[in-house]
Structure 1
């Protein structure tokens, strides 16, 4: 089981969570936390009512610090600085970096400083030494020892 955190709960962050639930990937992936500057009420509403994919087919509620999807509670934090996040305490294995802002090695590495083991950037990386992977095209280049990886552009996936 991998513990996942999503940094940025815009279109890409919400679709990441939606796919984990729709594919029933709970045996492999557990979303522990979402970091976004928006309040939980708005995040829950945006997740439940997607203007492109339609309504989420399960239950979505919220409290002050969580969104609750199909009964599973996900912590929501509102931290601008990734280095200040509690990834170590939450035992986060992988951060999905989907803000579109932390795309350089130095910026993405702030999640590692906070205790995450790996970061997947959902945009092209700014540094040439970060592998850019498009699943089904060049996923053979994935280096499992790499701590930061780019999943290419959101328009590719």
Structure 2
């Protein structure tokens, strides 16, 4: 349920105060190296991403909530279509596309690394979008 550093009861944490709070009943904002890792894997994105994590008491799975300002505008429908095409094409087995009303436990054991939730994303306009996977 928890990472090796998360506490089952409130106690001291060498890293930060929040990290010492019990994992079972709290959503805990934390740091993550994921954004830096993306920059190492995709050099064009190096230094262009930042991120944080929320430690949530779930058995498994995690979520990416990506907010982006697009240089070239696209409607949310166009973005969904592109993600669906990638999920059915070159990223098949890695990326999945869903329009179902799923929650975290529905994704346990799913073979894909990331499941795009088409209903969870929003678009402020054609240049500012949030996608959830």
User: TM over 0.5: same fold?
Assistant: no
Give the greater-gyration-radius structure (CA): 2
Provide the TM-score with structure 1 as the length reference. Answer: 0.26
